[in-house]
Amino acid sequence: MKTKIIFGLLSSILLLPTMLFADIVYQGKRVQEWPEEARPTFNNQSAGKPSFLLARTPVTQNKSHYAAPKGKIYSLTLLVDFSDQKAPVSVADVEEWLNKEGFNRDGCNGSVRDYYLDVSNGQLDLTNEVYGWYRAKHPKSWYENLQGYTGSDSLMKEVFNYFDPLVDFSRYDNDKDGTTEAINIVYAGPGQTWGQGLWPHSGWSNERRDGVRLTHHQMTDMPGKFSIYVFVHESGHMIFGWPDLYWYGDYCTMGNRAHDLNPVAINDFYRADQGWIPFVDVTSNDVSLETTKPGEVCYRYKNPARPDKEGLVWSYVQNKGRNQVLKGSGLLMQHYDFSIEGNSASDKLGLRIVHASAAGKSSDNPGDQWPSPGSTANTFFKSGTYSEFSDDAYPAIRWYNGSKTGLKITDIGTPGETLTFCIGGNSPEPESSNSTGIVSSSSSAPVVSSSSSVTPPKSSSSSVQITVQKIALETTLPISDNYAPVTLDLNGSEVAKILGIKQNEIANKVKFYGVEPDGTLNSHTTGEGTGHWFDKDGKIVAWDPNGTSIVFSNMDLTTMTTKIGHMPNKVKAGDSFVIKQAIVHGSKQVTFEITVTIEQKTTRISNIRSSKRGKPGNMIFNALGKPVGKRTESGELPDLPKGIYVEIAK
């Protein structure tokens, strides 16, 4: 959390309760980051590949910058109370607080274990084993009044001595490298004075028990009311060795103390560094249109001159779930430089947010560096406000040596279930009729038909004449055994034009219908959200594995895309279905007539960079669907210009 330096910079911080601060303490001194010799490490013998199924090119993180434990990790929690501060909760209560699935006492969003399971995509199962309560030799006030952290050190030694006969400390050396990963001391009563006594912190010691060194531990207070922030944050220091992210804002739990009960997630750069989500590496030669879900992948653009040290990383961050406390959604851009030790000075940040509304450099307003109350909607890149990122759009975006980055991101879309953006500034225009569908599925071509007048929807007055425009779309669907959908762009800008409203008003202003084969509008949704299931004739039906439902289309009116998929085991290659859905605004109706064809086995290449290997002889098609060549006998691609291609398996 924040250091004392901050007090001088932002005097308003002084108004916040002092409970907001906790530290890493090494050899009696507060530090912002573990020094080299005291960094947590983890010996990952089985650093397996994460199994992400993506169209893009995920990169397995072989070597993490920080300690990266995986799987089930045992953590030890020792409880201590005092004659003047008795245990406010039971051992069983603490076990639930740390481990119980769905723990919600006092409003907590899950237990500490739930938190790390969530942010790690289920890859880190942190299980705490709890012992207590030990009654300390002195009253709490005695420890609190000692100089600096000497009270903490004294209590720590007492606690270790007391529990030694009861606990096998070597059990908490999960990777068997001779040091424990996680020992927590939870004491009764609230923390009292920042930087003194028993103030919550992550500490280091020379203690040795049961043949292992107890190097890292953390101390958390238990005032009687449950919250998970402090435990989660201190675990971040202790287990992974993450630094405090000063001048960073609310965008990571290692930054501000944004919320005690529902602490914000670990930032996507650290998550990808752990291997919890994949990195997708981007170079200045890449051109592609990307669609990404919140927290799904972390895009990375390394400084070619210092590829191991400096880079830009970005991901789609949505203010839902673990990130609910954030004030906005969109692409969150970060600049890292591992040659800078942590975030100890505002003009030298190892990891900083590149705020969309400002460059995020030290010369900026401190309010932009560390927004109050901690995050702003204008930090995020998104359609309508900051839809582009480049050296030219934001002249202050530079590598730390002042040179241009060469990274260009354009056409950043509206945050919804997914977010789209173009890399390289040369992607197919979503509006152009010949490339729209290539991006989201293997092929589709919107056609806007001439106007016609038909029966108005039942809910409208019969005297109102409804003008109907049809948008014809085509997509092919791979045969899937798990409902896997393809995403189809619905031409939001074109639709908005027809309806006479802005694209970002569509979701709020229109009515949504399924359209029966005879043109009747059906206001009942049978799919997910604004979605429907259809039978083979395009009739709207309920989902029923034993019934006639066969194809679904779940629209997202915010992003103006739809997810189309089919029932497992009910289609065969070459099957074709026509399904219709409509949106109505005032006297205008847009009907989407979507022809869905079940395809032969195909492989989609969203970008030429993802296509290093392939089956010899596979046909390669360009964005217009024209064949442009085939794989050589060794599986190499033919010589092609940058762009988006589709590969059809031979």
Which residues form the interface with Zn ion (CB under 5 A)?
Answer: 1, 244
Nearest-approach distance from CB 20 to Zn ion, in angstroms: 10
**CA–CA–CA angle 254, 255, 258 (5° rounding):** 105
Nearest-approach distance from CB 248 to Zn ion, in angstroms: 12
Q: Which is nearer to Zn ion, 143 or 246 (CB)?
A: 246
Q: Which residue has the tokens 């173009």?
A: 422
Q: Which is nearer to Zn ion, 243 or 478 (CB)?
A: 243
Rounded CA gap, 12 and 343, in Å? 20
Nearest-approach distance from CB 561 to Zn ion, in angstroms: 40
Q: Which residue has the tokens 């798990």?
A: 482
420 by DSSP, 3-state: which?
strand
Q: Which is nearer to Zn ion, 1 or 351 (CB)?
A: 1
- 230-252 b/e with 16+ CB inside 10 Å = b? bbbbbbbbbbbbbbbbbbbbbbb
Rounded CA gap, 578 and 486, in Å? 16
Nearest-approach distance from CB 238 to Zn ion, in angstroms: 10
Q: Which is nearer to Zn ion, 241 or 514 (CB)?
A: 241
Nearest-approach distance from CB 148 to Zn ion, in angstroms: 17
Q: Which is nearer to Zn ion, 237 or 361 (CB)?
A: 237
Nearest-approach distance from CB 13 to Zn ion, in angstroms: 15
Contacts of 233 (CB under 8 A, 6+ apart): 1, 22, 253, 254, 257, 263
Q: Which is nearer to Zn ion, 114 or 244 (CB)?
A: 244
Amino acid, single-letter form, for residue 99: N
Contacts of 438 (CB under 8 A, 6+ apart): 428, 444, 623, 625, 644, 646
Q: Which is nearer to Zn ion, 230 or 409 (CB)?
A: 230
Nearest-approach distance from CB 4 to Zn ion, in angstroms: 13
* Helix or strand (DSSP H, E) at 128: strand 124-135
Nearest-approach distance from CB 220 to Zn ion, in angstroms: 12
Please give the torsion angle defined by the CA atoms of residues 558, 561, 563 and 564, in that order, rounded to the nearest 10 degrees.
Answer: 140
Amino acid, single-letter form, for residue 216: H
Distances (CA, A) of 462 to 108, 459, 469, 512, 590: 52, 9, 19, 18, 18
Q: Which is nearer to Zn ion, 217 or 300 (CB)?
A: 217
8 Å CB contact between 512 and 495: no
